[in-house]
Amino acid sequence: MDLETEIKILQDNIRSLQKQLGQAHQRIGELMSEKTASNEEVVKHKQFIQEISLQLKEKEIEATAKMQEKIDGIAQVMDSKQKFIQD
Spell out the domain ranges in the chain. Answer: 1-69
Between vectors from CA 8 to CA 7 and to CA 9, what angle results, nearest 5°?
90
DSSP result, 52-85: HHHHHHHHHHHHHHHHHHHHHHSPPPPPSSPP--
Per-residue pLDDT tens for 9-60? 999 999 999 999 999 999 999 999 899 889 999 999 999 999 999 999 999 9
Q: What is the pLDDT of residue 18?
A: 96
Distance of CA 19 to the CA centre of its chain: 38
Cα–Cα dist 15/32, whole Å: 26
Q: Which long-range contacts (CB under 8 A, 24 or more apart) does 8-15 make?
A: none
Q: What is the pLDDT of residue 75?
A: 73
Give yes or no for residue 6 having a pLDDT over 70.
yes
Say how many C-beta atoms besides its own lie within 10 A of residue 35's C-beta: 10
Q: What is the pLDDT of residue 73?
A: 82
Q: What is the pLDDT of residue 14?
A: 95
Rounded to 5 degrees, φ, ψ at 47 are -65, -40
